[in-house]
Amino acid sequence: MAHIVQVGAGSGGMVVLDLVAREPQVKRITLIEPDVYKPHNAIRHYFPQEAAGLRKSELARQWLAAHRPDLEVQCLEVDLLDMSAQPKIEAAVASADIGVCAVDNEPAKYHWDALMRKYRKAWTLGEVLSGGIGGFVHVFRPEGPCYGCVASALKRSVEVDSAPPPDYSQPGGPVYEVTVPASKASISVIASLHALVTLELLQNPDYDPGFTCVLLALRKVPQVFDEVLRPYRFRIERMRECLFCGEAAHRGAAEDLDEALAQALDRLAHA
């Protein structure tokens, strides 16, 4: 009985949720989504304008009940980063088979990554580039590189607001969060790939698509993407010096303190 824990049911997340829920091996879904549906969401979402004012989690629950009445659905209407919600979130993560990340802010992605590594769960992430010119799908495993390793390898900026205009001088170059709205078509293509990879990974934990991250070009953009529908595959290794999953992260804080103290005493001894 497969249990998927997903964060985010926005315009992309809802596509992923719908597609993974269609597969009979998925028996249980936990959705973390605190947002309220707004009138402007309707243009890229499954739900009508009249649904504005309701929680996205409630709308998702109704959608799933209509299409998979046998599915067990739990909604956590909490912010992923809310400290008081962590026990509930961690309980869901601990019992899940796989995680799905469909949020578009960096702190939430890093937090999700930390949760997934803590409970040693594989997870997937989909990201649409600004303007919908392309998008990423990432596959994370407990023993593999973390989100920090991947972000660093792809040289991505986490400073979105102060970031210069997107400059995809080469695939895998700086990538920013969605700032120019993407079309529903672009969002759906990347979300569908995200769902596909998630289902493969769920079916076979050893599933190796041949990449850690795949970047699919959806639009021809001068000096960025020469061809449409071309995938760029990235195999990314765990970084030894990674602050989140590398050797430094595994050394306890106490050990660091001991080391600092020893060095300080050493300096005094030689003063």
The CA distance from 67 to 186, in Å, is 24
Q: State yes or no: residue 99 binds Zn ion (CB under 5 A).
A: no
Residue 128 touching Zn ion (CB under 5 A): no
CB of 170 to Zn ion, least distance (A): 22
Least CB distance from residue 142 to Zn ion, whole Å? 12
How do beta strands 72-76 and 2-7 pair?
A: unpaired
Judged by CB under 5 A, the residue of 148, 166, 171, 172 near Zn ion is 148
Q: Which residue is listed with tokens 């249990």?
A: 3
Q: Considering only CA atoms, which of 77, 124, 81, 135 is closest in space to residue 100?
A: 124
150 binds Zn ion (CB under 5 A): no
Among 112, 140, 176, 244, contact with Zn ion (rule: CB under 5 A):
244
Nearest to 56 by CA among 11, 112, 107: 11
How many residues of this chain interact with Zn ion, rule: CB under 5 A?
6
Are the CB atoms for 168 and 267 separated by under 8 Å?
Answer: no
Residue 221 CB neighbours (<10 A): 16
The verdict on 112 binding Zn ion (CB under 5 A) reads no
Q: Does 242 bind Zn ion (CB under 5 A)?
A: yes
Chain residue whose CB lies nearest Zn ion = 242
Q: Which two tokens stand for residue 1?
A: 């009985």
Residues that bind Zn ion in the complex, under the rule CB under 5 A? 146, 148-149, 242, 244-245
